[in-house]
Amino acid sequence: MQSATRIRVEPDDAVDLHMHTRASDGRWTPETLIAYLTEHHFRVVAVADHDTMDSVPEMMERGEAAGIHVVPAVEMTTRWEERHVHCLVYGIDLMSPSAAEFQALMERQQDNLRGTAERMVTLLERHGRHLPSLQKVAAGRPLWPHLVFRAMIKDGHGSSLFSAHNIIRGLGEPAMVDVPLAETVEMAHKAGAVTVIAHPGRDDGWGFLYEDRLDKMFAEIPVDGFEAHYRSYTTADTQRYRDYAEQHALLVSAGSDSHWPNFPVNPNPHPARWIAPLLERVGVDVGEFEGPAWVPPVEPPAESAAG
* Burial category of 205 from C-beta neighbours within 10 Å (exposed 0-12, middle 13-18, buried 19 and up): exposed
Across the range 209-218, mean pLDDT stands at 97
Confidence check: pLDDT of 307 > 50: no
Residue range of the domain that includes 266: 12-91+193-286
Confidence check: pLDDT of 233 > 50: yes
**pLDDT tens sequence across 149-206:** 999 999 999 999 999 999 999 999 999 999 999 999 999 999 999 999 999 999 998 9
Based on the domain organization, do 161 and 204 belong to the same domain? Answer: no
What is the rounded distance in angstroms from the CA atom of residue 5 to the CA atom of residue 202? 35
Based on the domain organization, do 281 and 228 belong to the same domain? Answer: yes
What is the rounded distance in angstroms from the CA atom of residue 94 to the CA atom of residue 96? 5
Give the residue among 53, 283, 88 at the shortest CA–CA distance from 197: 88
What per-residue confidence (pLDDT) applies to 301?
61
Counted domains in the chain: 2
Residue 184 inside a domain? The answer is: no
What per-residue confidence (pLDDT) applies to 5?
79
Q: Do 148 and 119 form a contact (C-beta atoms < 8 A)?
A: no
Based on the domain organization, do 86 and 62 belong to the same domain? Answer: yes
Residue 72 inside a domain? The answer is: yes
What is the rounded distance in angstroms from the CA atom of residue 104 to the CA atom of residue 32? 30
Residue 306 inside a domain? The answer is: no
34: left (phi over 0), alpha (psi -120 to 50) or beta: alpha
Q: What are phi and psi of 230, to 5 degrees?
A: -150, 155
Amino acid of residue 150: R
What per-residue confidence (pLDDT) applies to 4?
59
Based on the domain organization, do 145 and 230 belong to the same domain? Answer: no
Amino acid of residue 281: R
Q: ∠ at Cα 272 (266, 275), nearest 5°?
A: 100
262: left (phi over 0), alpha (psi -120 to 50) or beta: left
Q: Do 250 and 228 form a contact (C-beta atoms < 8 A)?
A: no
Residue 301 inside a domain? The answer is: no
Contacts of 27 (CB under 8 A, 6+ apart): 21, 259, 260, 261, 263
Q: What percent of the chain has pLDDT over 90?
A: 94
CATH code, domain carrying 237: 3.20.20.140
Mean pLDDT of the chain: 95
Q: What are phi and psi of 180, to 5 degrees?
A: -60, 135
Based on the domain organization, do 87 and 118 belong to the same domain? Answer: no
Residue 211 inside a domain? The answer is: yes
Q: What are phi and psi of 304, to 5 degrees?
A: -75, 165
Confidence check: pLDDT of 306 > 50: no
What is the rounded distance in angstroms from the CA atom of residue 284 to the CA atom of residue 210? 29
Based on the domain organization, do 37 and 154 belong to the same domain? Answer: no
Across the range 138-147, mean pLDDT stands at 97
Residue 221 inside a domain? The answer is: yes
Based on the domain organization, do 259 and 205 belong to the same domain? Answer: yes
Based on the domain organization, do 79 and 201 belong to the same domain? Answer: yes
- pLDDT: is 170 or 3 the higher one? 170
Q: At what angle do helices 211-220 and 235-248 cross, to 10 degrees?
A: 40
**pLDDT tens sequence across 85-136:** 999 999 999 999 999 999 999 999 999 999 999 999 999 999 999 999 999 9
Based on the domain organization, do 58 and 124 belong to the same domain? Answer: no
Based on the domain organization, do 197 and 151 belong to the same domain? Answer: no
| Confidence grade of residue 302 (pLDDT, cut at 50, 70, 90) | low
